[in-house]
């Protein structure tokens, strides 16, 4: 048997190098309302592209609409279906949404009428599979539907209203748990699975599996901002996966996995602002993720709401399960529990940034499983980190310059047209 020697620097990367300081929450929570009088069995939510509307779905065909800024404004929807609904996603135009559930159930919600109808042919074409995830691509031309069997199917309706379904090649057998797409032109999507790791879907609808992500149950993924070609996933074992997308050569996209020392597990993600994500935890709580933080620019974790502080005006809140949430600004937002409780979070006195500076230290973050061996070398080399940051910032600067140049050309053409 060949003996394998692991360099000491790589071993050190797998060992905690700092101790997280004792910290306190920077927000408090209060219950805004209960959607129902008993456990509603809510499983998923989606916020519209405008940020104004929220759809909730759950067990036995449950579907509900609430206004993001005023949750008391709500509409109980009739799905005309008793199968469990597991996921929902808005079309990029924000006028409709797709709801996916068990037994091949695929439904369409229409905002103007608050109506829910069955998508023709979905049960047969999706082979009555239990559907766990649904999302629209950046253009809104295709929707990706992920099943418990591991099959991902792309779906659309043509100009004549005929539905088209095409299973993706290179699917595996582990259940698909979540899919998220980067919303920019010709962008890609990120897939989370129960045990096969994460994969990216390229512009040609081809799957590319990310080495180093397999073996972890990835609960949720999010591609938050078009400015950076980067997505995030949260998984079992306190894992945060940072996925660098290569839009020109999708097969070279890679993942770097960091572990955050928390007492519970991460279960979901929502965007706090342009530079931060909120990683929801079980038991009930959040961790703030600074997208550009850390010496490597790959992210840094801060406490946000600890379970011990998640009492609000009802101690039972600490025992409920977070389904998801949305921000109304950098400091405030809402969340929904599976029970049907709508929770408002906000800073008690000072702003979030003041609370963080005054009271909190970064949480312990360990580099755990890079997607490629180069990742380990990179993380141990300040020189390579500087080169990466220079390259990453260079890409952003190039995008900004291209945008300015394009804007200047358009203005020039406008001036010439005006002179004529």
Each residue's pLDDT tens digit, 57-78: 999 999 999 999 999 999 999 9
Q: Is the predicted pLDDT of residue 14 greater than 70, yes or no? A: no
Give the other-Cβ count within 10 Å of 205's Cβ.
Answer: 15
Residues of the chain with pLDDT > 70, as a percent, come to: 78
Task: Report the alpha-carbon distance of residue 88 to residue 131 in Å, rounded.
Answer: 11
Q: Is the predicted pLDDT of residue 385 greater than 60, yes or no? A: no
For position 177, what pLDDT does the model report?
98
Each residue's pLDDT tens digit, 326-346: 999 999 999 999 999 999 999
Q: Which of 28-32, 143-147, 172-176, 398-402 has the lowest mean pLDDT?
A: 398-402
Average pLDDT of the segment spanning 188-205: 97
For position 365, what pLDDT does the model report?
73
Which residue has better confidence, 360 or 5? 360
For position 393, what pLDDT does the model report?
57
Tokens of 309: 């502080």
Tokens of 124: 């047969």
Q: How many residues does the chain have?
A: 420
Task: Report the alpha-carbon distance of residue 206 to residue 347 in Å, rounded.
Answer: 44
Label residue 294 exposed, middle or buried (CB < 10 Å: 0-12, 13-18, 19+).
Answer: middle
Q: Is the predicted pLDDT of residue 186 greater than 70, yes or no? A: yes
Average pLDDT of the segment spanning 221-242: 93
Q: Report angle CA 315, 273, 188 to the nearest 5 degrees.
A: 115
Q: Cβ(236)–Cβ(214) under 8 Å?
A: no
What integer best gives the mean pLDDT of the chain? 84
Q: Is the predicted pLDDT of residue 15 greater than 90, yes or no? A: no
Each residue's pLDDT tens digit, 255-311: 999 999 988 899 999 999 999 999 999 999 999 999 988 888 889 999 899 998 887
Q: Is the predicted pLDDT of residue 416 greater than 80, yes or no? A: no
For position 412, what pLDDT does the model report?
56
Q: Is the predicted pLDDT of residue 390 greater than 50, yes or no? A: yes
For position 408, what pLDDT does the model report?
55
Residue with tokens 């790791």: 197
- Domain 24-380 listed as CATH 2.130.10.10: yes
Confidence of residue 386 (pLDDT cuts 50, 70, 90): low
In this structure, is the dihedral angle defined by the CA atoms of residues 28, 33, 35 and 39, taken in order, positive or negative?
A: positive
Residues of the chain with pLDDT > 90, as a percent, come to: 64
Each residue's pLDDT tens digit, 127-149: 999 999 999 999 999 999 999 99
Task: Report the alpha-carbon distance of residue 109 to residue 99 in Å, rounded.
Answer: 7
């Amino acid at each position: 048997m060949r003996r394998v020697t692991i360099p000491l620097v790589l071993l050190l990367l797998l060992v905690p190098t700092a101790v997280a300081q004792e910290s306190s929450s920077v927000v408090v929570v209060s219950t805004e309302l209960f959607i129902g009088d008993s456990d509603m069995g809510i499983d998923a939510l989606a916020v519209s592209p405008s940020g104004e509307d929220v759809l909730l779905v759950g067990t036995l065909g449950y579907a509900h609409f609430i206004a993001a800024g005023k949750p008391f404004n709500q509409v109980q929807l009739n799905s005309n279906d008793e199968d469990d609904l597991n996921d929902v996603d808005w079309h990029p135009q924000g006028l409709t949404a797709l709801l996916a559930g068990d037994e091949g159930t695929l439904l369409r919600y229409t905002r103007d009428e608050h109506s829910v109808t069955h998508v023709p042919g979905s049960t047969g074409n999706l082979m009555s599979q239990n559907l766990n995830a649904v999302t629209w691509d950046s253009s809104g031309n295709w929707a990706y539907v992920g099943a418990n069997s591991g099959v991902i199917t792309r779906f659309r309706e043509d100009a004549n209203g005929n539905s088209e379904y095409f299973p993706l090649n290179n699917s595996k057998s582990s259940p698909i748990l979540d899919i998220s797409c980067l919303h920019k032109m010709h962008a890609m999507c990120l897939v989370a699975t129960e045990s096969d790791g994460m994969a990216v879907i390229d512009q040609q609808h081809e799957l590319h599996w990310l080495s180093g992500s397999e073996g972890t149950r990835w609960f949720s993924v999010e591609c938050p901002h078009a400015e950076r070609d980067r997505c995030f996933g949260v998984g079992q074992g306190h894992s945060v996966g940072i996925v660098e997308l290569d839009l020109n050569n999708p097969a070279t996209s890679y993942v770097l996995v960091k572990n955050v020392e928390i007492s519970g597990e991460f279960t979901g993600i929502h965007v706090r602002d342009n530079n931060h994500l909120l990683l929801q935890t079980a038991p009930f709580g959040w961790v703030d993720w600074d997208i550009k933080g850390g010496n490597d620019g790959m992210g840094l974790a801060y406490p946000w709401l600890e379970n011990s502080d998640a009492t609000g005006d009802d101690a039972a809140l600490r025992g409920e399960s977070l389904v998801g949430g949305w921000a109304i600004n950098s400091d405030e937002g809402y969340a929904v529990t599976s029970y049907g409780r709508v929770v408002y979070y906000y800073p008690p006195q000072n702003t979030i940034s003041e609370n963080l500076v005054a009271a909190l230290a970064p949480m312990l973050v360990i580099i755990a499983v890079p997607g490629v061996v180069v990742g380990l070398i990179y993380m141990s080399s300040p020189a390579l980190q500087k080169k990466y940051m220079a390259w990453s910032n260079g890409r952003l600067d190039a995008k900004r310059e291209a945008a300015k140049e394009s804007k200047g050309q358009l203005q020039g053409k406008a001036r010439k047209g005006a002179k004529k």
